[in-house]
Amino acid sequence: MEAEACEVAMDAEVSYQWAGDYGLLAEVIGATKYKEETGHDYIQPTQPETYDSNITKDTPAYEREMLVAKNEEARENWYVRKGTIRGIADNIRDALDPTYYQQLKNKRLKYKNLSVQDYFQHLDTHWGKITIEMEIKLKQGYYEVWDHGRIHITDFKERLDKDQEELQEDKIIISDHDKLVFYVQQMYRSGLFERATMEKWEDQKEEKKTWEATTEYFEDKIKSQERYRSNTEAAVAGGSSFESAANVQEEEEEQQAAALADLTEYLDSVNNQNAEEKESIQQMATQTKDEVKQLKEQLQARDVQINKIMECMNKSMEATGDKKPKTPQLMLK
């Protein structure tokens, strides 16, 4: 619940100098913890005036504009802060049974003047007592196995530090030694490191096996592995691209050769077709010539017959004393 409240608070857009990139986070976790986590000193805001009383009739125009703008910014920050705190408080009451917060209710003011921290402090004081069973479950959660395929080694280290601190606030102690032993055990369990790497850490003097030195040692090994893997993948990818380029070029050459073969075949077919057409024309010309010759012969034969008939007619007419007719010339030359 507190984590969700922190997210809402950090999303608030305010321009307080102490807010930085963290919005109104200080309103949830308090000034002390806010200083520890962000390095910023929280300053309790006060409600600004509706109109800046420093502005008088003698205030120059340029200074008046500056003071008005500054006061408007302060008023906007105030109402964003007020609305955010009220929204988080409403969400807390909606999420809890009234039993857990009704003791905070004022007879006249009800919940008006309560801060977000008032709710969490009340829960911790009156309802936040950790039972033995809860403590066991919380510790089991702390010693959750490292999923190195999903969680980076740096995030694993950060989780152990953060959870150790939060458990300590609830009087659940995870010693630095236990944290270190669990971390190294997870390094063994992960299978990411060679025997020589683990033995090198084991062979160090005990005073050098500090938390910072140990985590830095294994993080450096992971960085070396990641760098080697990245270079290898890049080299393989580069070789694949050269091979792909060669394959593309080969395919293009094959396509060009196929296209050339198709073109050659087409031209050959055209040439063959032209040769066939030429031969056909020659055959037709020869046939026509033969037919013309045959027709001439037939005409000549007909002329011969006609001439013979005319000769017979002339002879017949001479025999009867008729005048001899003129013989027609029908012979083709």
pLDDT at 65 over 50: yes
Q: What percent of the chain has pLDDT over 70?
A: 77
69-84: pLDDT as tens digits: 999 999 999 999 889 9
Contact 59, 36 (CB under 8 A): no
**Is 231 within the bounds of a domain?**
no
- Take residue 39 and report the two structure tokens written for it: 């390095």
Total tally of structural domains belonging to the chain: 2
**Is 244 within the bounds of a domain?**
no
**Tokens 């060679």 belong to residue:** 194
Q: Mean of the pLDDT values across residues 144-149? A: 95
* pLDDT at residue number 331: 45
- The sign one gets for the Cα dihedral 91, 93, 97, 100 is positive
Average per-residue pLDDT for the chain? 82
268-318: pLDDT as tens digits: 665 666 566 656 656 765 776 676 677 677 777 777 777 777 777 667 666
pLDDT at 260 over 90: no
- The sign one gets for the Cα dihedral 272, 274, 275, 281 is positive
**Is 170 within the bounds of a domain?**
yes
For residue 213, the enclosing domain spans 131-221
Greater confidence (190 vs 257) lies with: 190
pTM above 0.75, yes or no: no
pLDDT at 41 over 90: yes
Q: How many angstroms separate the CA atoms of 170 and 177, rounded? A: 19
Q: Mean of the pLDDT values across residues 79-106? A: 83
- Take residue 274 and report the two structure tokens written for it: 């032209």
Same domain? For 111 and 204 the reply is no
**Is 287 within the bounds of a domain?**
no
179-207: pLDDT as tens digits: 999 999 999 999 999 999 999 999 999 99
Same domain? For 79 and 157 the reply is no
**Is 211 within the bounds of a domain?**
yes
Burial group, residue 193, by CB count within 10 angstroms (0-12, 13-18, 19+): middle
Which residues lie below 8 Å from residue 118, measured CB to CB, with a gap of 6+?
A: 104
Q: What percent of the chain has pLDDT over 90?
A: 38
**Is 227 within the bounds of a domain?**
no
Same domain? For 137 and 33 the reply is no
Domain end residue (candidates: 116, 142, 162): 116
Query: How sure is the predictor about 332, in pLDDT bands with cuts at 50, 70 and 90?
Result: very low
pLDDT at 31 over 80: yes
Query: How sure is the predictor about 94, in pLDDT bands with cuts at 50, 70 and 90?
Result: confident
**Is 65 within the bounds of a domain?**
yes
